[in-house]
Amino acid sequence: MTSALTDPTEAPSSGDALPSWTTDVTRNESSLRRFLAGLPGVDPVGIEQRAAALATRSIKKASKLAAIDLAIAMVDLTTLEGADTPGKIRGLARKGIDPDPGTEGVPHVAAVCVYPDLVEAAVEQVRGTGVKVASVATAFPSGRSSLAVKLADTALAVRAGADEVDMVIDRGAFLAGRVGLVFEQIQAVKQACGSARLKVILETGELATYDNVRRASWLALLAGGDFIKTSTGKISPAATLPVTHVMLQAVRDWREATGQLRAVKPAGGIRTTKDALRYLVAVREVAGPQWLDPHLFRFGASSVLNDLVMQRRTQLEGHYSGPDYVTVD
């Protein structure tokens, strides 16, 4: 696919206009491919060693409590089942608004994340609470459909009031080197989002190499994605620490290159408070403390919320309660 690409500076982007080099890079598919291939490689042994070393950080006492609250505020509380119903969504939304009923000072989650046809039900529940509604779209999770269908899917979510759209990239096209096609589709979906923030799911488990994760991250950032997100949660492996490191490096380098702040969302496989704290350590030390913000970092997860709530109580009460003392929604 070598069709001319539209000028990315005309596409809506987060914040200020992009520097002019991005126009050169995205002029056509071959320039885009050359740019992505020219990005520095990622040494797998080195990145895994670094991720494992950072995972030994010891988070205790006040810093643990603060981290738990921050992690709760970063959760995109997610249900993406074929069996989802408006009733299920209502429960999920209530849980997101007040994760630990009866306990003071627990923050609400960042968003609830649902399928497009259930956005309306979610919007109704969270209105006025600060909790946002995110919707997957674009023939989630495989992305195997026409652009027209993907745009219609996106429009459905946005019309129903989604604040955020989680799209999937065409991994087949990416792996086949058709980066221009992937770029154009992200741009088109971004346009269809209007004011909604766009999360671009790379499905890193299918990209297989860290080099591919870095290239796909830059591709998504160049195309105007507000977030780069690891996974759909439907493919194993989902989010891993080393993959998230690569993506955090990408947004850090993107800021260096353009001055813009973009966000990262690992999703899938983050189940415990310990997992979540390890991600926060990575955010702090790889991207920088500035990204310790629900606007710039999210967890795509569901079961982790109850573990966070339990660990929060443990910090305050000095003893463990148990799963019967937190609500299952």
Partner 1 sequence: MTSTHLDWDYAPAPESPAIGAVRDRYLPFVDGVFAEGRGPDLDTVSPGTGERLATVSTSGREDLELAVAAARRAQQQVWGPMSGAERSKYLFRIARGVAERARELAVVETLDNGKPIKETRDFDVPTAAQHFFYHAGWADKLQHLGLGPDPAPLGVAGQVIPWNFPLLMAAWKIAPALAAGNTVVIKPAETTPLSILVLAEIMADADLPPGVVNVLLGAGDLGSALVTHPGLDKVAFTGSTAVGRQIARSLAGTGRPLTLELGGKGANIVFEDAAQDQAVEGVVNGVFFNGGQVCCAGSRLLVQESVAEEFLARLQARVETLRVGDPMDKNTDVGAINSPAQLARITALVDAGVSEGATAWRSSCPLPERGYFLSPTIFTDATASMRIAREEIFGPVLTTMTFRTPDEAVAKANNTPYGLSAGVWTEKGSRAMGMAAALRAGVVWDNTFNRFDPAASFGGYQESGFGREGGRAGMAAYLRTDDEPQLAPQPTEAGA
Binding to partner 1 by residue 43, rule CB under 8 A? Answer: yes
Rounded Cα gap, residues 239 and 232, in angstroms: 9
* 28-36, 58-66, 151-159, 303-311 -> range binding partner 1 (CB under 8 A): 58-66
| Start-to-end Cα distance in the chain | 46
Residue 46 CB, nearest approach to partner 1 (Å): 3
Binding to partner 1 by residue 232, rule CB under 8 A? Answer: no
Binding to partner 1 by residue 98, rule CB under 8 A? Answer: no
Segment 279 to 318, residues that bind partner 1, using CB under 8 A: 280, 284-285, 289-290, 292-296
- Within 10 A of 175 (CB to CB), how many other CB atoms are there? 13
Backbone angles phi, psi at 157, to 5 degrees: -65, -45
Nearest to 162 by CA among 138, 180, 137: 137
Residue 276 CB, nearest approach to partner 1 (Å): 13
Binding to partner 1 by residue 41, rule CB under 8 A? Answer: yes
Q: Determine the 3-state secondary structure of 53 from DSSP.
A: helix
Catalytic: 166? yes
- Within 10 A of 184 (CB to CB), how many other CB atoms are there? 20
Question: Sheet holding 227-229: strands in order across?
Answer: 263-265, 227-229, 197-201, 164-168, 132-136, 111-114, 75-78, 299-301
Binding to partner 1 by residue 64, rule CB under 8 A? Answer: yes
Catalytic: 229? yes
Q: Using an 8 Å Cβ cutoff, are 112 and 131 in contact?
A: yes
Binding to partner 1 by residue 105, rule CB under 8 A? Answer: no
Binding to partner 1 by residue 56, rule CB under 8 A? Answer: yes
Could you tell me the sign of the dihedral formed by the alpha carbons of 145, 151, 156, 161, in that order? Answer: positive
Binding to partner 1 by residue 228, rule CB under 8 A? Answer: no
Q: Which is nearer to partner 1, 46 or 101 (CB)?
A: 46
* 51-59, 116-124, 232-240, 310-318 -> range binding partner 1 (CB under 8 A): 51-59
Q: Which of 166, 211, 226, 275 is catalytic?
A: 166
Rounded Cα gap, residues 119 and 135, in angstroms: 7
Q: Which of 153, 229, 275, 307 is catalytic?
A: 229
| Separation in Å, CA 231 to CA 183, 201, 322 | 18, 6, 30
Give the binding site for partner 1 (CB under 8 A). Answer: 40-43, 45-47, 49-50, 56-64, 66-67, 70, 73, 249, 280, 284-285, 289-290, 292-296
Catalytic residues: 166, 229, 265
